[in-house]
Amino acid sequence: MPEKITSVSNPRIRRLVELRKKAKLRRETGMFLIEGTRLCADTPEPFITEVYATEEWLSDAPDQEKARMSGFPLTVVSEEVMAKAADTETPQGILCVTKMPTYTMEELMGRDQKAEPLLLVLEDIRDPGNLGTIFRTAEAAGATGILMSRGTVDLFNPKVVRATMSAIFRMPFAVSGDLCADLERLREQGIRSYAAHLGGTRAYDALPLTGGSAFLIGNEGNGLSAEITEAADEKIIIPMSGGAESLNAAMAAGILLFEASRQRRAAALQ
């Protein structure tokens, strides 16, 4: 029979709470939390190390999912304990302790797929929903990877994790300590970088994007820094009508990526 925890002061539950709240602990342990039936079901089995579930979840969950979760160290917790450990206001009754995925630069550039690299380079994206949406959008558009500055919100923040809808396990990523240096490395690999910038002189859909390409997206409030903008091969713009001055970072990323995807599909048909 699985162990049952009913006390919110249990050391294991306190550790879950700290893992949820503290990015430093997540980095030190290489672990983070996945919450909810759908996200736990989508998590690849090699990454799951522990499962916590309420009796109600175990009673109501699909047999296939219960059988899958029974293959991991399972602890039954009370509703009160789950509410303490979970990040959402109305927990679904299950969470998993999960290992962080890691990727090589070769995977980031799609070299394992022999694909032309299609990258996003993110500088100091701070909103968890934006970052999560960017990951989902990048996967849908066929991007090969995402490179993020250290000032970008922690990818393993629970809100970001939920917003990725499990793309966190399918979209290669890396955190850069020096974006300018990494842009130069990409250039050496034949990957041209484009800074999404209000001072751009060429529209995004006038670019040839079938070769190796990287789009630079900046902070929600300040945009790209002057240093990163100057390190790019070209400044580009998304033309806008009306009184809009800028677009949401995730929206801009989606527009750019799907234009590249469109061009690549068209080229493949020729």
Give the tens place of pLDDT for each residue, 137-180: 999 999 999 999 999 999 999 999 999 999 999 999 999 999 99
Write down the CATH number for the domain with range 105-269. Answer: 3.40.1280.10
Q: Is the pLDDT of residue 1 over 70?
A: no
Question: Which tokens is 185 given?
Answer: 């490395």
Give the tens place of pLDDT for each residue, 63-85: 888 888 888 999 999 999 999 99
Q: Which of 152, 151, 227, 220 is nearest to 183 (CA)?
A: 227
Tell me the pTM.
0.94
Tell me the CA distances in angstroms from 195 to 62, 74, 103, one per residue in order: 47, 47, 24
196 close to 215: Cβ distance less than 8 angstroms: yes
Give the tens place of pLDDT for each residue, 33-69: 999 999 999 999 999 999 999 999 999 988 888 888 8
Residues 6+ away with beta carbon under 8 Å from 249: 122, 125, 127, 130, 134, 217, 218, 219, 220
Mean of pLDDT over the chain: 94
Write down the CATH number for the domain with range 3-99. Answer: 3.30.1330.30
Cβ neighbours of 265 (radius 10 Å):
11
148 close to 176: Cβ distance less than 8 angstroms: yes
Question: Does the fold of domain 105-269 match that of domain 3-99?
Answer: no
Strands of 110-191 (E only): list them.
118-122, 145-149, 173-176
Residue type, 139: E
Give the pLDDT of residue 233.
96
Q: Kindly list the domain boundaries of the chain, sorted by start residue.
A: 3-99, 105-269
C-alpha 39/C-alpha 41 separation (Å) is: 5
How far from the centroid of its chain's Cα atoms is residue 134's Cα?
A: 7
